[in-house]
Amino acid sequence: MRSTPRARPRLLALACAALLLAAAACGKEGTPPPKGPDQGELPTYEVNAAADVPDSPTWRNAKERGRLVVGTKADQPYVAQQDPATGYYSGFDVEIAKMIAADLGFGVDRIEFKTITSANRETALQNGQVDYYAGTYTINDNRKKSVGFAGPYYMAGQSLLVRADEKDINGPQDLNGKKVCSVAGSTPYQRLQKDYPKVKLIGYDSYSVCVDNLISFQVDAVSTDDTILMGYAAKVPDQLKLAGQPFSQEPYGIGVPRGDRAFRLALDDAIARHEANGDWKRAYDATLGLSGVPAPAPPPIDRY
């Protein structure tokens, strides 16, 4: 096939994308392998058989139903990821969800996890599709108009993921005119839109699609919480890296139905108990800690 000199960079990019696709067959795909930590290495949590939260309609419904329904993500390595072969969810946020469930009287065999994307979290909680939501969910005043938040249980920060050989992007100040991918309905997407209007912002439903687009040269960077980006980078460190320093604070909370204060406070108690007894740190070390960052101290819980 002939090509003009002008067409060559594009051909080169296509060839690279094809090579990456071929590499995917050998287990080195753009979207990291959908395998979380082995179930056996994870901590287990003692189920409180005497749990009772009589003032919480959410808890009473779950008790009657015989299981808890918990919303989370399915494509965020080390944070919240579903193994398509087994259906199991794993990651730090999944562990947080499990330790809370144990205090509410539900063992892992009585939790039904549901994948809910960033843009659909408030609606899922408002419609009663899930009892609570654990998945890189930033607490903020705007969201508090529609849902309640237990926690925070972790402090993340917005950051940038670029290709490993990228030299020009070292922070959000370098993004003018660049194509940056994030997820619609997320706080990082909203921040870029508002504070960095010269960015060519592209929104998808999930971050793994953004990462695929980064590896195949469709975008120049992916922006969201450092926790999420660290997981992708740790899976393919020869292809991806984080750039610059975090430029926001993203306190992670457990989303709950807004009116159910008793439920929210029971969740706050559960988080505090598991932070104090070492479960929080054990869970971190077995999940997010695998991406190479030692466990920070959890932020203070805000009981409102």
Q: Which region, judged by CB under 6 A, interacts with ligand GLU, from 47-55, 100-108, 185-193, 210-218?
A: 185-193
* Structure-block tokens of residue 109: 């065999």
* CB 225, min distance to ligand GLU, A: 5
Q: Is 183 in the site for ligand GLU (CB under 6 A)?
A: yes
Pick between residue 36 and residue 135 the one whose CB is nearest to ligand GLU.
135
Is 138 a binder of ligand GLU (CB under 6 A)? yes
Say how far apart CA 53 and CA 131 lie, in whole Å.
Answer: 14
The verdict on 58 binding ligand GLU (CB under 6 A) reads: no
Which residue among 37, 105, 152, 188 contacts ligand GLU (CB under 6 A)?
188
Q: Give the whole-angstrom CA distance, residue 187 versus residue 210.
A: 16
Would you say 263 and 105 are in contact if contact means Cβ atoms under 8 Å apart?
Answer: no
Could you say which residues in the range 31-50 bind ligand GLU, by CB under 6 A?
Answer: none
Q: What are the tokens at 100?
A: 């809370």
Q: How far apart are CA 202 and CA 210, in angstroms?
A: 9
Nearest to 256 by CA among 106, 143, 94, 118: 143
* Token representation of residue 205: 């439903």
Spatial contact of 212 and 30, defined as CB atoms under 8 Å apart: yes
Among the listed residues 137, 153, 232, 280, the single contact to ligand GLU using CB under 6 A? 137
Of the pair 59, 207, the CB lying nearest ligand GLU is at 207
Residue 68 and residue 252 in contact, taking contact as beta carbons nearer than 8 Å: no
Q: Does 250 bind ligand GLU (CB under 6 A)?
A: yes
- Give residues 111-130 in contact with ligand GLU (rule: CB under 6 A): 118
Among residues 47 and 155, whose Cβ is nearest to ligand GLU? Answer: 155
The site that binds ligand GLU (CB under 6 A) totals a number of residues, namely 12
Which amino acid is residue 292, in one-letter code?
A: G
- Does 225 contact ligand GLU by CB under 6 A? yes
* Nearer residue to ligand GLU within complex by CB, 225 or 260: 225
> What would you measure as the largest C-alpha separation in the chain, in angstroms?
74
Q: CA 189, CA 180: separation in Å to the nearest integer?
A: 9
Quick check: 186 binds ligand GLU (CB under 6 A)? yes
Judged by the rule CB under 6 A, the positions of this chain that interact with ligand GLU are 118, 135-138, 183, 186-188, 224-225, 250
